[in-house]
Amino acid sequence: MRLPGPVWVQIHRAQNRVRDIAAMAAGYCNDQPGEPGGGYRHWRCARRRRHRGLHRFRNYVWDAQGRTEYAPVDDFPSQPWDRNGTPTRRQARLDQDRRRAAAEKRAAARRARRDTT
């Protein structure tokens, strides 16, 4: 049986929610990098809650402001409860708002160029 795409999106979102709740219940930090700093939406910190230092997803680290950088280590922490790359509803809404704001900015720039010529 083939399921339509939106159904798979909802299934992946539900799986991600369950995995996030399980990770937090098991005592993991579960922080994710901020939007402006980089990183992917499915990254979560694999260290224990209240750890010292930077958050880590495999070979990438980020600080409290979400600035992400590559910092390879030979023995990175295992990633319990890996997530799907499907955005949450909030992440999808933020992406849509960002795209809308960028489109409005481009349209305003086009109008300004058109009015000056």
Each residue of 14-52: pLDDT tens digit? 988 888 888 889 898 888 887 666 788 788 888 889 999
Please give the order of strands across the beta sheet that includes 60-62: 55-57, 60-62, 68-70
Which residues contact residue 65 at a Cβ distance below 8 angstroms, ignoring those fewer than 6 apart? 34, 37
CA angle 9, 10, 12 (to 5 degrees): 65
Q: What is the mean pLDDT of residues 96-100?
A: 91
Which element (helix H / strand E) includes 94? helix 89-116
| Average pLDDT taken over every residue of the chain | 85
Q: What is the pLDDT of residue 111?
A: 93
Residue 116 has pLDDT above 70, yes or no: yes
CA of 9: how far to CAs of 1, 6, 22, 81, in Å?
Answer: 16, 5, 20, 18
Q: What is the pLDDT of residue 32?
A: 83
C-alpha–C-alpha distance, residues 67 and 96, integer Å:
22
CA-based radius of gyration for the chain: 19
